[in-house]
Amino acid sequence: MKNKALRFDILTIFPGMFSCYLDESMMKRAKARKLIDIRVHDLRAWATSKHRQVDDRLFGGGPGMLLKVEPIYRALKALKALKSKAKKRPYVVLLSPRGTRFTQRVAERLVKRDRIVFVCGRYEGVDQRVTDHLVDEEISIGDFVLTGGELPAMTVIDAVARLVPGVVGKEASIVEESHSAEGFIEHPQYTRPERFSPKKGVHWDVPEVLLSGDHKKIAEWRLKNAKRAA
Ligand SMILES: C[S@@+](CC[C@H](N)C(=O)[O-])C[C@H]1O[C@@H](n2cnc3c(N)ncnc32)[C@H](O)[C@@H]1O
């Protein structure tokens, strides 16, 4: 087990969006137990202009605005995350619909890092020079376009954080989960009551084998009912 908390730094122009999610439930407990350390930074703190402007119009024309390269450069410099030979440098991820598709495998790769910086885009996205010179990887959470990188950052952080030993109650529950074995979706699961009757004469029963106490048979049933992911 790592003895230092896995640290996430988030660069965003909407820092307020994170507290409602990160200060509840699993994230709150993981932070309190110092298993993860999450720091949210307002990108505007590194703006160079008087009005703390972090976006500008597109060269060549076109609708919308782009996040500028300078504030992101300054922020990454302050977080000691600029590309260099330093071994201890944080890993920098840009959330982008053009990036590598986020999967459980990517989460398993990211949890091995000590520190990850997430850059959240907004508007039309970010200046291409950020991708070309400042980030290690672009990650997409799916083939759709959201308004900003904040929800994708929270999605990635959630999936990575629950792989940190101790964050999820029973370690076994993450080992047997969907996607933890290549290409598999977890078997169906049931809890009480054994029989649910939504109306007279209609019964939704739990498969008998799960109530049998026969662990070998239960394991076989689960294996048989774990589906191959599409
Ligand atoms: C409106 S989007 C920009 C879309 C961009 N103009 C394009 O067509 O690729 C603004 C920001 O939201 C974030 N974003 C949107 N969809 C995303 C996705 N599927 N995965 C990761 N980030 C996403 C990115 O940070 C992006 O820079």
For residues 131 and 185, state if they share a domain. no
Last residue of a domain, one of 147, 171, 195: 171
- Both 206 and 145 in one domain: the answer is no
Ligand 1: which of 146, 156, 157 to mutate, judged by most atoms within 8 Å of the beta carbon?
146
What residues make up the domain containing 203?
176-228
224 CA to centre of ligand 1 in angstroms = 39
Looking at the structure, tell me whether residues 119 and 49 fall in a common domain.
yes
- Domain match, 180 and 199 both: yes
Tokens of 59: 């060269």
How do residues 189-210 score in pLDDT, each as one tens digit?
Answer: 999 999 999 999 999 999 999 9
Q: Return d(Cα 110, Cα 133) in angstroms, integer.
A: 20
CA distance 205 to 223: 20
Listed range (9-18, 105-114, 144-153, 171-180) with the worst mean pLDDT: 171-180
Contact 31, 18 (CB under 8 A): no
User: Ligand 1 pocket by C-beta < 6 Å: which residues?
Assistant: 95-98, 120-122, 124-126, 140-142, 144-149, 152
Based on the fold, state whether residues 112 and 55 are members of the same structural domain: yes
Residues 157, 193, single domain; the answer is: no
1 within a domain of the structure (yes/no): no
Torsion-angle region of 113 (φ positive above 0: left; ψ -120 to 50: alpha; else: beta): beta
181 and 144 share a domain? no
What's the 175 CA to ligand 1 centre distance in angstroms?
A: 31
Both 13 and 122 in a single domain? yes
Q: Mind listing the pLDDT tens digit for each residue in 133-189?
A: 999 999 999 999 999 999 999 999 999 999 999 999 876 577 778 887 767 888 999
Are 122 and 184 found together in one domain? no
The Å distance, Cα 121 to ligand 1 centre, comes to 6
CA of 28 to the centre of ligand 1 (A): 27
105 and 204 within one domain: no
What's the structural domain count of the chain? 2
Whole-number pLDDT of residue 87? 75
Distance (Å, whole) CA 45 – CA 83: 21
Question: Looking at 37-41, 128-132, 147-151, 167-171, which range is the least confident one?
Answer: 167-171
Burial class of residue 71 (count of CB atoms within 10 Å of its CB; 0-12, 13-18, 19+): buried
Answering whether pTM is above 0.85, one says yes
Whether 37 and 147 share a structural domain: yes
- Give the CB-side neighbour count of residue 205, counting CA atoms within 13 A: 8
Distance 137 CA to ligand 1 centre (A): 14
